[in-house]
Structure 1
Amino acid sequence: MGSIIDVPTNLGLRPPEPGCVPGADKAPQALRAAGLHAALCRQGWIDGPPVLAGRYHPEMSPGQVRNQAAIVEHAHRLASRVAQALDRGERPLVLGGDCSTLLGVGLGLAARGRYGLVHLDGHTDFRHPGNASQPANLAGEDLACAVGLHYPELSQIDGLGPYFEPQDVVHAGCRDDDAHLDEARGQLGAVVSASQWVADPRGALAAIVAWTERDGLDGFWVHVDVDVLDPAYMPAVDSPDPGGISPSLLSEALAGLWPRAAGMTVGILDPDLDPDGQYAGQVASIILGAVAGSGPQAKTL
């Protein structure tokens, strides 16, 4: 059985313009309007209450990421909800919001055992204090934080970090010019760039799936930022970079991973950049096709 956890947060993002607030917190409601929640509930899923985030503040304090205290507080509450769902035998589908949600998911899983992570993202999200003079926005630093490379206040909440051991993480989807690609390759269990994925879809997916079958894991989580898609298909994100994958490749990957995953996060869709809901509908169809067994680009919304 699956359960939906809406996580409408934008705490990990930079302001799109001075004085403006990022729109990613509106994504769960946009996916609901696209029919995702109703379609899943018709198949027996549980639609639980959202995990609301604190108020977004664009200002930063030295030695902290933007909205750091609110992110930590939110991570505690999301971790509790993920753990409760797993305790009930449910598989959570966490709908963000920005990818600071990985902090709460990782915290909840780390309290239960040793979990792996499949991180599908258009960026490595591997910026951290060791490679940047001033870390700023956790949405570009979430993977580094999850493997223990960030400020201790973020990477060692409740003494549970790293939430994922670096060798237990596979990243796929970053662009070849990602500033932290080489470091990620040296630290993580496996890295598959978007260009590698596009050039050899079958081999890339086989490598990712084989990695999840390693011994020693209590399970694995799938984290998806929809900016893994090329902007030709998905421009409604805060950092659209060319060279991404197609919706069909993402659908194929999620359909292969979901049946054995402990749960999944999907995030970074910005409805402010999608006024007619076209891209929310596309994301909803990809998700439904993966988790409800309806096949890629399901038409049952």
Structure 2
Amino acid sequence: MINNLLSQNKFPFILGGDCSILLGSAIALKQKGNYGLFYLDGHTDFMDVSLSETGGVGGMAASIVTGNGHQKLTNILNLSPYIKEENLCCVGNREYDDEYENEIIKSSATYLSLKELRKQGIKNAVQSFLLEVEKKKLDGFWLHIDADVLNDSVMPCVDSRTPDGLTYNEFNELTSCLFQSKRLTGLEITILDPDLDETGQYTKEFVANITSTFNQNFNN
């Protein structure tokens, strides 16, 4: 399905469950060319299975799509890696555990924790990524959004709650910069669990923010 949309120059906007849906998106992208990945998440999802408490693919999605892990997942259709490691930009992690962070720090991916993102500045960080997309002459880039990148006070309806996170002002500033890029190929949203939002207030606020920002800035 994603492959067909890309072939028709349409923009896939995917609502998913957990982050493992990235595998399908990444495989479709690899079949079309050489793409970058902006991974906006409260966690890196970049680790070996030996560090995983659950062994779930969702917690290792960024690592798997860049070719790290068992070949049954990393080399479907002999396409490994679906996204080159150096074309991954992982942004927003706030699980500050040395062993956990070291996995992506020692990789060739670009890594900006939440602290580093704020230090560098959102616009500067996004522009740096977009310049790399142009410099490398990539066919485009995919945007992965995990709802748990948001501050826990405004988005508690996730499966791995962690203190802090992006405010909506920060989130909207970041996504608006990405939505304006003609190189944005598609996006996916994961982890927001409506069963954890009994009144629907958090989901409504999220939808209002992302649709407003998207409609105002999308430039493809």
Whether TM-score is above 0.5 comes out as yes
In the TM superposition, what is the alpha-carbon distance from 1:196 to its structure 2 partner?
1.8
Asked if the contact 1:100/1:142 (under 8 Å) is kept, the reply is: yes
Mapping of residues 195-210 of structure 1, within 5 Å: 195-199=115-119, 200-210=121-131
Mapping of residues 216-255 of structure 1, within 5 Å: 216-255=137-176
Residues 103/136 of structure 1: CA separation in 2 closer, same or farther (3 Å cut): same
Asked if the contact 2:38/2:142 (under 8 Å) is kept, the reply is: yes
Match of 2:106 among 186, 200, 205: 186
Match of 1:175 among 89, 94, 102: 94
CA distance in 2, matches of 1:274, 1:267: 15
* Farther-moved stretch of structure 1 (134-143 vs 202-211): 202-211
Aligned to 1:28: none
Match of 1:288 among 205, 211, 217: 211
Aligned to 2:71: 152
1:116 aligns with 2:43: no
Asked if the contact 1:170/1:188 (under 8 Å) is kept, the reply is: no
Aligned to 1:163: 82
Aligned to 1:4: none
In the TM superposition, what is the alpha-carbon distance from 1:294 to its structure 2 partner?
6.5
In the TM superposition, what is the alpha-carbon distance from 1:175 to its structure 2 partner?
1.1
Q: Which runs of no fewer than 5 residues in structure 2 stay unpaired?
A: none
Amino acid at match of 2:93: C
Asked if the contact 2:172/2:209 (under 8 Å) is kept, the reply is: yes
Count of residue pairs the alignment pairs up: 214
Match of 2:57 among 130, 138, 143: 138
Residues 134/282 of structure 1: CA separation in 2 closer, same or farther (3 Å cut): closer
Residues 167/180 of structure 1: CA separation in 2 closer, same or farther (3 Å cut): same
Amino acid at match of 2:178: L
Provide the secondary structure at the position in 2 that maps to 1:123.
Answer: coil
Residues 173/128 of structure 1: CA separation in 2 closer, same or farther (3 Å cut): same
CA distance in 2, matches of 1:278, 1:294: 24
Q: Which runs of no fewer than 5 residues in structure 1 stay unpaired?
A: 1-80, 296-301
Mapping of residues 264-279 of structure 1, within 5 Å: 264-279=187-202
Runs of 4+ residues over 4 Å off in structure 1:
none
Aligned to 1:90: 10
In the TM superposition, what is the alpha-carbon distance from 1:135 to its structure 2 partner?
6.2
Residues 177/115 of structure 1: CA separation in 2 closer, same or farther (3 Å cut): same
Tell me the TM-score normalised to structure 2 length. Answer: 0.90
Identity %: 32
CA distance in 2, matches of 1:225, 1:112: 24
Amino acid at match of 1:233: V
Name the structure where helix makes up a greater proportion of residues.
2
In the TM superposition, what is the alpha-carbon distance from 1:181 to its structure 2 partner?
1.5
